[in-house]
Amino acid sequence: MYENNYNYIEVPEDNGNKNKKGKNAGRIVAGLLAVALVGGISGYGGAYFQNSRSADSISADASASTSSSAETATTSATATTTDSSDSSSVTNLITSSSSATGSLTTEQIVEKVSPSVVSVQAKFELTSGTATSTGTGIILSSDGYIITNAHVVQISDTEYTSNNSGGNNGFGNGNDIFSYFFGNGGNGFNSYSTKTVTKNATSVTIVLSYDDETEYEAEIIGADTNSDIAVLKIDAENLVAAKFGDSDELTMGSKAVAIGYPLGLGLSTSEGIISGLNRTISVELSGGGSASMTLIQTDAAINPGNSGGPLVNEYGQIIGITSSKLVNSEVEGLGFAIPITDAMPIISDLMSQGYVSDRTPQIGITGMTVNSAVARYYGLPVTSGVMVVSVEEGSGAETAGLSEGDVIVAADGEEITSMDDLTAVKSEKEIGDTITLTLARSGGNVDVTLTLGAAEDSNSAESEDDTTAAE
């Protein structure tokens, strides 16, 4: 069986010998990713996590209702002195490999790139206690902008909310103990509901590879869960900014070097090749629904803690951000990195506004996966598909005539049995593309064609509860 690739370690306490610089970490909208390889193989090479649970953590009855939302806060990039503060300059950081002077040895690559690699250490305050994670980052600019993975500085947490309204005593408004334990009175265990939220790290600490005696407190400028990219900022100058190559020029079999901080062991490097290009990974979002990522595949060893670090070509140019790895005794040499050419426009948005806008095409509905129980409850004509819960005003869905209660059973001729199916078809589209939906209605099936629009604000929560999400 393939297992989740998280490892738990004891993180040493601060010995007080290191200098502290910078500000407290900021907040942004986020959702922790869980990555599953298309075809049913699952695994996730994420940050290196430690979770310390509080002795008095809250418990709830198994029948408690669940919902999920994204914790939202506004964070903006205020620094403007960097030469990478706008879209054009960030994109222009990428240079063609044809301009490189020649291939480097692995030793030369490590010597060239390591000064631009940092350790990222995040701390979280959860309902059940505290947690920490470690990952890797890449110095984007000399004045302190740093790239890492979003999941290094974000985590999902379950919060419990009491629905008691009376508050007279533990048994509610005079209800007896039977009602308390079995929920008939509405104020026992069943009166608790749970909510899954995505939380930013309460603090993010950066340590430079060439100065492990100084710690910098980082601000989270922005993050994007769909791409698993985050941008941090530390108060520092004259840093060694990385050099970036064009990932579109990669070929299978070319050299690949990964540098990072795996398993909390300190700066490390591994060497391999580009094993594959344009590998599609299905990404499940903690807030519900899923997205797709197109990644570089490499056999260079990528382990927990490498997340957010560089994948480097033979010229010492960063061509990818290491993101996930499938770990199993039967599967070796299967690592992934986000192509840097795809990442730069996202990084630019995060730097300028704290979130990524107008990137994910939207149908303009809130949908719910249909199963036999849902079909019976709502009296639907089919037992699988996506039921339209609501239609956004002014959206392509409204223009095409979609209504609450419609069930989407196919999209562009592909069978739709769940929200994940619909998201997968939609993710292959761009804003402005058309999509043909087959709707199951009481009078039979009908096809409608609509134009996909842009999300008004990708900082907004995309999921309303554990079965409902925006599309």
Active site residues: 151, 228, 307
Residues 6+ apart with CB under 8 A from 107: none
What does the H/E/C string look like for 103-150?
Answer: CCCHHHHHHHHHHHEEEEEEEEEECCEEEEEEEEEEECCCCCEEEECH
Amino acid at 318: I
Dihedral of CA atoms 264, 268, 271, 276 in degrees, nearest 10, equals: 40
Q: Among candidates 248, 265, 268, which has minimal Cα distance to 257?
A: 268
Count of positions (residues) in the chain:
471
Give CA angle at 313 (311, 314), nearest 5°: 140
The C-alpha atoms of residue 327 and residue 334 are separated, in whole angstroms, by 8
CB atoms within 10 A of CB 110: 19
Letter for the amino acid at 383?
Answer: T
> In a 3-state reduction of DSSP, which class is residue 48?
strand
Q: Hunting for tokens 């078809």 — which residue is that?
A: 425
Measured CA distances, 150 to 155, 192, 313 (Å): 9, 30, 23
- Contact residues for 156 (Cβ-Cβ < 8 A; gap 6+): 31, 32, 196, 197, 198, 199, 286
| Whether 383 contacts 370, CB under 8 Å | yes
Could you tell me the two tokens for 388?
């339209």
- Which residues face 68 on adjacent strands? 196
Identify which of 384, 389, 392 has the alpha carbon closest to the alpha carbon of residue 363. 392
C-alpha distances in Å from residue 102, one per residue of 99, 301, 314, 455: 9, 25, 8, 44
Return the SS3 of 423: helix
Q: Which phi and psi (to 5°) does residue 90 adopt?
A: -65, -45
Spell out a b/e string for 72-101, using b for 16 or more CB atoms within 10 Å of the CB, else e: beebebeeeebebbeeeebeebbeebeebe
